[in-house]
Amino acid sequence: MIYWAPLLHFYQPPTQLHWVLDKVCEESYRPLINIFSDIPSARVTVNISGVLTELLWEHGKRDIIEGLARLAEKGQLEFTNSGKYHPILPLIPRAEMKRQITQNNETNRRMFGKAFSPKGFFPPEMCYSREMVEPVIETGHQWILLSGVACPVDWPLDVIHGISLDSSKLSVFFRDDILSNKICFHGLGAQGFLKHLAQLRGHREGIYVITAMDAETFGHHIKNWEKLFLEEVYEALEPIEPLGQHIQQLHPLADEHRDILSLREKAEAKEIEVVTISQLLDIFPRGSSIEPKPSSWSTTGEDFKAGNPYPLWSDPKNQIHQLQWEHMHICIDMVETAMERADNETSRYYADIARGLLDRALHSDQFWWASGRPLWDINLINRGLMQQTEVLLNAYKAIRASGTSNEKKTECYYREIAARDFRGKIRDQLFRE
């Protein structure tokens, strides 16, 4: 048997505009929910960032939250946990990692109710480092999904390895990067995908394959791809009998784009079953303890050679990245100081604002848009910088209003001046680029 476990990652940044969110919901999120609702045998693992769940609620798109919850309650969908504001976890302090993970769980549990009960963990952008293991285990997760490039051993098709930490062990799954990228860049159709799965099995009794990509790939990034790929594959994995003579009625694009019956026959002949990732834990044996490589789902072999595991968010050769992180580290330190030193109503007021703003300001998009690999956007870089500036404003106000020593206040003021210098240098780069 071949077990295919697809994961879809739903995410929009905290700075997203309403009209963009509206477009993504109409083109991708609602059509995806409809496909899963129409095909009862379809299974999927979903990661949805808590910031997106809140955006959906606040922008009046609660039908999407309800639709995903309904699928989870029916057992077609399992949720994973993640970082609420989509931070690059290996690049922030451990306390911030755990805070983001906990906030994501609390937000989605509040929005989805009991339907949100994640066993697995999806790190934003699949960015991994050893430092993440402890907070992921401490927050109650059984498994983590990483990019295939992180795998340090022979490719696991019929065994599940683990990451050890003291007496605990975290099962680790790896995304098939090549297959996932072929799908998300429109390089492989439904027939080719099923044929590829059959070839992977070879002489083994059973194997598993995990694909993972942005949910927005289907319908938003690639028009109609939710129908021409996902729906077609899911229908190919359905038993033939329920289709009957209604194929044309149910699938008006069949004549033009696909041959549903032949796809189903191939799928049945090759014994392909779609499952959630957690179901794999009950099917396959455990392997050995391994140490995955620090990486992301955008890390290449050349990046490894250059010692650059997170190239789209912290490239040592990217001056704006380096300045952004210098500025961010000042924000983090100032908020920590503000929270520690707040000792009266006014200082606690500003410290709490700074703390909440920092959570949002850690989102990954501002760094991604500064990567230039291949995209670049000065407004989205600047928007992230403005968020960080608000963090510093409130953090310093909290410190200034507290009863801490004048010496400490002066030290923090100089740090804010240093942050201004970094902001100026970033904006100079934006003008030049």
| pLDDT tens-digit series, residues 123-146 | 999 999 999 999 999 999 999 999
Residues 285 and 323 in one domain: no
Q: Is residue 302, in this structure, part of any structural domain at all? A: no
Residues 254 and 369 in one domain: no
Q: Among 289, 311, 334, which residue terminates a domain? A: 289
What confidence score (pLDDT) does residue 247 get? 43
What confidence score (pLDDT) does residue 241 get? 58
Residues 175 and 225 in one domain: yes
Residue 259: band (very low, low, confident or very high) from pLDDT cuts 50, 70, 90: low
For the stretch 375-400, pLDDT in tens is: 899 999 999 999 999 999 999 999 99
What confidence score (pLDDT) does residue 405 get? 97
Q: Which phi and psi (to 5°) does residue 242 adopt? A: -65, -20
What confidence score (pLDDT) does residue 246 get? 46
Task: Determine the 3-state secondary structure of 348 from DSSP.
Answer: helix
Q: Which two tokens stand for residue 86?
A: 């989509």
Among 67-81, 190-204, 215-229, 412-426, whose mean pLDDT is lowest? 190-204
Structural domain including 11 reads 2-289
Mode of pairing for the β-strands spanning 160-165 and 168-174: antiparallel
Residues 88 and 227 in one domain: yes
Q: What is the DSSP string of 239-297?
A: -SGGGTT-HHHH-TTHHHH--HHHHHHHHHHHTEEE--HHHHTTTS-EEEE--PPSB-T
Task: Determine the 3-state secondary structure of 187 from DSSP.
Answer: coil
Q: Is residue 295, in this structure, part of any structural domain at all? A: no
Q: Is residue 308, in this structure, part of any structural domain at all? A: no
Percentage of the residues of the chain whose pLDDT score is greater than 70: 92
Q: What is the DSSP string of 106-146?
A: HHHHHHHGGG----EE--GGG-B-GGGHHHHHHTT-SEEEE
What confidence score (pLDDT) does residue 265 get? 58
Residues 103 and 21 in one domain: yes
Residues 264 and 389 in one domain: no
Would you say residue 120 has pLDDT above 50? yes
Q: Is residue 311, in this structure, part of any structural domain at all? A: no
What confidence score (pLDDT) does residue 270 get? 55
Q: Is residue 144, in this structure, part of any structural domain at all? A: yes
Q: Is residue 296, in this structure, part of any structural domain at all? A: no
Residues 144 and 233 in one domain: yes
Is the whole-model pTM more than 0.75? Answer: yes
Percentage of the residues of the chain whose pLDDT score is greater than 90: 88
What confidence score (pLDDT) does residue 177 get? 97
Would you say residue 335 has pLDDT above 80? yes
What confidence score (pLDDT) does residue 427 get? 96
Q: What's 106's domain CATH number?
A: 3.20.110.20
For the stretch 400-419, pLDDT in tens is: 999 999 999 999 999 999 99
What average pLDDT does range 242-261 have in this prediction? 49
Contact 41, 274 (CB under 8 A): yes
Residues 277 and 346 in one domain: no
What spatial distance separates the first Cα and last Cα of the chain, rounded to whole Å? 53
Residue 260: band (very low, low, confident or very high) from pLDDT cuts 50, 70, 90: low
Q: Which residues of 335-353 are buried (b: 16+ CB within 10 A; e: fewer)?
A: bbbbbebbeeeebbebbeb
Would you say residue 432 has pLDDT above 50? yes
Q: Among 234, 268, 289, which residue terminates a domain? A: 289
Would you say residue 245 has pLDDT above 50? no
| Average per-residue pLDDT for the chain | 93
Would you say residue 212 has pLDDT above 80? yes
What average pLDDT does range 23-46 have in this prediction? 98
Would you say residue 149 has pLDDT above 80? yes
Residues 275 and 396 in one domain: no
Contact 121, 82 (CB under 8 A): yes
Would you say residue 266 has pLDDT above 80? no
Residues 9 and 80 in one domain: yes
Mode of pairing for the β-strands spanning 286-289 and 207-214: unpaired
Total number of domains constituting the chain:
2
Residues 208 and 334 in one domain: no
What confidence score (pLDDT) does residue 273 get? 95
What average pLDDT does range 275-294 have in this prediction? 97
Q: Is residue 194, in this structure, part of any structural domain at all? A: yes
Q: Is residue 300, in this structure, part of any structural domain at all? A: no
Q: Which two tokens stand for residue 2?
A: 């071949």
Residues 83 and 226 in one domain: yes
Q: What is the rounded distance in angstroms from the CA atom of residue 18 to the CA atom of residue 22?
A: 6
For the stretch 161-208, pLDDT in tens is: 999 999 999 999 999 999 999 999 988 999 999 999 988 877 778 999
